[in-house]
Structure 1
Amino acid sequence: MKHRKLMNRTLLAMLCAHGLTSAIMDPFDEDLMAVAKTCDIMMNNKLYADDYLKV
């Protein structure tokens, strides 16, 4: 697929909004990992927001 990475990031954000708590994903896709960390913080899944600074 031509835009697979964009689709993966968008789907991850949508699923997080609906309660996704874990996913099998590409850890080498830095943007995807940034989406995952941002979702955790926005959904209040992290106790501290310092993880966002590591993104």
Structure 2
Amino acid sequence: MIIQKQAGQEDVLEVAFWGLWYNDKFIRTSKGWRIKEKITEPCYNWKIQRSGL
């Protein structure tokens, strides 16, 4: 994700990444296996800002 925002008189460009684990719970139906519940678990994030663009 790239976000551009203003901080005072300068534009600030922020690049961010988020990593997630998906913990799914499945249920068997007449049409096959389906996801009953999806839980996201954050595992990492990374951000860097650059000002004065």
| Larger fraction in strand | 2
Larger relative contact order (CA 8 Å, sep ≥ 6) = 2
TM range (shorter): under 0.3
Report the TM-score, using the length of structure 1 for normalisation: 0.19
Structure with the greater alpha carbon radius of gyration = 2
Report the TM-score, using the length of structure 2 for normalisation: 0.19
| Larger fraction in helix | 1
